[in-house]
Amino acid sequence: MEHHLQIDGWRSNIRFSSCHMLLRHDKCSRLHGHSYAIHLKVEGELDDNHMLADFGEMKRVLRGFAEELDHRTLIPTENNDITVHEDGGNIKVDMLGKVYSFPSCDVIMVPIPTTTVEELSKYLLGRFISEADIPFGVRTVSIGVDEGWGQGAWSTEEIRR
* Residue 147 annotated to the active site: yes
d(CA 21, CA 27): 9
Name the active-site residue from 71, 78, 105, 131.
71
57 among known catalytic residues: no
Separation between Cα atoms, residue 161 and residue 155, nearest integer Å: 19
User: Using an 8 Å Cβ cutoff, are 37 and 10 in contact?
Assistant: yes
Tell me the one-letter amino acid at 68. Answer: E
Cα separation, 19 vs 34, in Å, equals 6
The active-site residue out of 3, 28, 118, 157 is: 28
Active site residue 119: no
The residues annotated with a catalytic role in the active site are 28, 71, 147
